[in-house]
Amino acid sequence: MTKKILYRGAEAEIRLSEYMGKTVVLKQRVKKAYRIKEIDRHLIAYRTKEEAKLIAEARSYGVSVPLLYDVDLTKGAITMEYLAGSRVKDILNGLEESERKRICFKIGESIARLHNHDIIHGDITTSNMIFLHDRIHLIDFGLGCKNSELEAKGVDLHVLMEAFESTHSKYAHCFDYVIEGYSKKFQGDSSAVVKKIEEIVRRGRYR
Ligand SMILES: Nc1ncnc2c1ncn2[C@@H]1O[C@H](COP(=O)(O)OP(=O)(O)O)[C@@H](O)[C@H]1O
Ligand SMILES: [Mg+2]
């Protein structure tokens, strides 16, 4: 069937497709001409596998993520549920403050659910969140990994803090609501994570 390209990133192409009668998203990693063929194949297979594993693991811990329908390591393709919602990036600035606060709190809760199991998303921006059925769905685990270090959790949240400062600069204070939600759900010492974020901010300043 003809597949409409939704998005063309540096690593992957996102197409709308059909699978068993359903509209689905096909995320296909693209070959890089500058990489040695053998290494390229290996990298594509590895990243595809890691992303699928993290999505499945996140779901098992109650985080809203797309359903996985198929994974093809040779093609570097993941077939997943199409989340017909809104990208948080596109809606956050236009919301009422109380609603924005509620959404940000939910974002924090979702990140904590990942971090409770040492899942590091790797690219937590509001482009990688889809709001649907009153839930925050996390997508794009392509840069994710498992890591139990405090540093990894701090960096993960710091990426989102920077996204708030750039994309949602009028509402940068809303990152505090993210931290509120995070602190409520995180089973470790959330104040240590907050301190780590502050340390990362300081490090950035003196670089
Ligand atoms: N399952 C999905 N449902 C709906 N839209 C999606 C889905 N997966 C990706 N997208 C859209 O495609 C864009 C790029 O996908 P993403 O997985 O983030 O790729 P990249 O790794 O290139 O950033 C997302 O920002 C989102 O708008
Ligand atoms: Mg993305």
pLDDT tens-digit profile of 166-186?
999 999 999 999 999 999 999
Separation of alpha carbons 49 and 180, rounded Å:
33
Closest CA to 179 of 108, 98, 100: 108
**Separation of CA 142 and ligand 1 centre (Å):** 10
Closest CA to 7 of 24, 23, 26: 26
* Helix ranges, 23-148 (H): 37-60, 88-91, 97-115
Give the residue whose CA is nearest to atom 20 of ligand 1. Answer: 9
Contacts of 115 (CB under 8 A, 6+ apart): 153, 156, 182, 186, 188, 193
**Separation of CA 190 and ligand 2 centre (Å):** 26
Catalytic site residue from 40, 70, 72, 123: 123
Give the residue whose CA is nearest to atom 10 of ligand 1. Answer: 14
* Helix ranges, 61-189 (H): 88-91, 97-115, 150-167, 175-185
Confirm if 136 and 147 have CB atoms less than 8 A apart: no
Taking only the tens place, the pLDDT of each residue in 186-202 is 999 999 999 999 999 99
Could you say which architecture CATH assigns to the domain 86-205?
Orthogonal Bundle (1.10)
**Separation of CA 178 and ligand 1 centre (Å):** 22
Closest CA to 28 of 84, 74, 64: 74
Give the pLDDT confidence score for residue 1 in this predicted structure.
56
Candidate from 38-42, 54-58, 63-67, 70-74 with smallest mean pLDDT: 38-42
Separation of alpha carbons 12 and 141, rounded Å:
12
Per domain, the residue ranges of the chain are 4-81, 86-205
Separation of alpha carbons 140 and 51, rounded Å:
8
Model confidence at 2, pLDDT cuts 50, 70, 90, reads: low
> Are the folds of 4-81 and 86-205 the same?
no
Determine the residue of 14, 64, 79, 128 to mutate for testing ligand 1's pocket, defined as the one with the most ligand atoms within 8 A of the Cβ atom: 14
Taking only the tens place, the pLDDT of each residue in 15-46 is 999 999 999 999 999 988 888 889 989 999 99
Ligand 1 atom at shortest distance from the alpha carbon of 12 = 22
123 is annotated as an active-site residue: yes
Q: List residues bridging with 7 in a β-sheet.
A: 14
Residues with CB under 6 A from ligand 1: 6-7, 9, 11-12, 14, 25, 27, 66, 80-83, 87, 127-128, 130, 139-140, 142
CATH topology assigned to domain 4-81: Phosphorylase Kinase; domain 1 (3.30.200)
